[in-house]
Amino acid sequence: MSSLFGLLNVGATGLHAQGFGMGVASQNAQNANTVGYTRRDVRFDPISPPPDGGGGVAVRGSRRVMDQFLERRLLGATAAKAEASSRSEALSVLDRVLADVEGGLGASLDDFEVALSELTGRPADPATRGQVLATAERLAVAFNQAAQEIDRTREDIDTQIEREVDGINETLRSIGELGVQIQKSEIGGREASDLRDRRDQLVRELSEKLPVEVIAEDSGAVQVLLGGGPSLVNPDGSVAQLSAQPDATTGAMHLFRTTSGVDQDVTAYADSGALGGLVAARDGALADSEAALDQLAFDFAAAYNTAHAAGYGTDGVSGRNLFTPIAAVDGAAAAFSVSTDVLGEPDRLAAASDPALAAGDNRNALALAALADADIARGGRMTAQESLGALVSEAGQAIRGAHLDADFADDAAAQIQSMRDSVSGVSVDEEMIALSRYQRGYQASLRVVQAADAMLQELVNLGR
């Protein structure tokens, strides 16, 4: 049996330990709603009785309860969710641009074709001629607006990418600094749970922007890898910096990692997270739609100009353009406009095939109207309407795909989050039970002190 004073000490370690336990349980309960908080459990070790030790209980500190495997999966799911939702948000502009509404591209194309068709019936009627020019102008506006909206969205995305990259660099530095702090704090052997929580929360935030993988070392140091490839944060706390730059020729966005002054193209690794989603939207469906729109505008202007130039206005003059000739496919939709050859001059519309019959001849109008059924778009495989329909379908699929991906990723992330919370989340009830357990333990320790005190009292009285 240990000494009576030793017994007092045993009681004291118990009081300290139960108090510590209550502290941890209270902290857990208080942080039930704290984002990124991982519940702690208490580590007690028995102290061997004399002669080996003093007896009682030793507090080994608290430790975060977590499953590394789930944490890793959560990072992946978070990145996938952010990718799909930012992609779907960025693509929503196409839904607006290509919606089949009054004044939209499709309706304007209809109006123009209908006006030409009516021109074949009334080639000499000034009102009908005016209608053709008016609808041609509206079609031009529709092309311009669609191109501008997509362009503006891509510019917005560029700004957003720049901001995200700045934020990412900031986060990378913080993670590196925290890694160093954690290593220093844990030299004593106790886990720096709060610092680790903060670091893990930062990594989670990072995973919303980029796909990241974390390799944790026992020392508390971490290495953060981009998409399982290049390192962003090294165990020694040094970090790489990212930058985004569009390619000079293709215009596609590229992501670079700069370490000690050397740039490495890491675009291929950044295929997830909000940044991955933005790049995918920008250089995927948005670029494709813009290119398809440009091609359609280019082909359309060329085909109608050729047919129009062959005919004669009521003044017997031929060789006029209906639309301003477009030099390059790139930017054609934005440049699409009614030619100054005919602008505001309905008489100059070339409805006639014979200058001598310019007043009543509708044969060139027939040729122009027939272009609606001619395969003038997509390399001579589709009519203008079919090409627009194909664009609607392609863009629609891209947006719908993004929506579905977002829904799926959202569910998957929620499920993994739930699994993670099942391990690491706080249950207030559990903490309540823990509180009463430590309360009971505290009472027991007090009894030990009381008993030792009573025995000491009796021992002292014995000497009187």
Partner 1 sequence: MRVSDSMMHELATRGVANNRESLFEAQRVASSGMRVEKPSDDPVAASLARGTKSRERRSDAVAKISNEAVDRLQAVDDTLGNVGDIMSRARELAVQGANDHVSANDRSAMASEIAALRAELLNLGNTKIEGEYVFSGLSVDRAPFDATGAYLGETQLKEIEVGPGLRLATQVSAADIFGASGGTNPFTALDDLEAALRANDGDAIHASIGGLSASVDQIANGRANAGGQQQALMQAAAAAERVRDEAIRRRADLVEADPVESFTDLVKAEGALREALAIAARMPPPSLAEMG
Our CB check for partner 1 shows the closer of 96 and 184 to be 96
Strands, sheet with 212-216, edge to edge from the N-terminal-most edge strand: 212-216, 222-226, 231-233
Select 263 or 386, whichever has its Cβ closest to partner 1.
386
Shortest CB 428 distance to partner 1, Å? 5
Residue from 80, 244, 335, 388 that binds partner 1 (CB under 8 A)? 388
Non-local (6+) Cβ contacts of 207 within 8 A are 74, 75, 76, 78, 79, 82, 273
Within 38-57, which residues bind partner 1 (CB under 8 A)? 39
User: Among residues 331 and 355, whose Cβ is nearest to partner 1?
Assistant: 355
Distance CA 222, CA 220 (A): 6
Determine if 181 is a binding residue for partner 1 (CB under 8 A): no
Q: Where are the alpha helices (DSSP H) in 122-211?
A: 126-185, 193-209
142 binds partner 1 (CB under 8 A): no
Strands 222-226 and 212-216, sheet pairing: antiparallel
Candidates 5, 386, 444, 455; binder of partner 1 (CB under 8 A) is 386
DSSP assignment letter at 285: I
Judged by CB under 8 A, the residue of 33, 68, 159, 249 near partner 1 is: 33
C-alpha to C-alpha distances, 450 to 6, 11, 225, nearest whole angstrom = 13, 9, 57
Three state DSSP letters for 395-451: HHHHHHHHHHHHHHHHHHHHHHHHHHHHHHCCCHHHHHHHHHHHHHHHHHHHHHHHH
**Beta carbon of residue 91, minimum distance to partner 1 (angstroms, whole number):** 8
Q: Is 134 in the site for partner 1 (CB under 8 A)?
A: no
For the CB of residue 464, give the shortest distance to partner 1 in the complex, in Å: 47
Q: Does 114 bind partner 1 (CB under 8 A)?
A: yes
Comparing C-alpha atoms, which of 281, 310, 238 is closest to residue 150?
281
Question: Which of these segments, 187-195, 215-223, 323-331, 366-374, binds partner 1 (CB under 8 A)?
Answer: 366-374
| Least distance in angstroms from the C-beta of 282 to partner 1 | 18
**Two tokens, residue 446:** 């007090």
Residue of the chain from 75, 369, 371, 409 that contacts partner 1 (CB under 8 A): 369
SS3 of 460, please? Answer: helix
Could you report how far apart the first and last alpha carbons of the chain are, in Å?
25
Piece of 98-106, 221-229, 327-335, 338-346 that binds partner 1 (CB under 8 A): 98-106
Q: Binding of partner 1 at residue 357 (CB under 8 A)?
A: yes
Query: What secondary structure letter does DSSP report for 34?
Result: -
Instruction: Give residues in contact with partner 1 (CB under 8 A).
Output: 29, 32-33, 39, 92, 94-96, 98-100, 106-107, 109-111, 113-114, 117-118, 120-124, 354, 356-357, 359-363, 366, 369-370, 372-373, 385-386, 388-390, 392-397, 399-400, 403, 414, 417-418, 421-429, 432-433
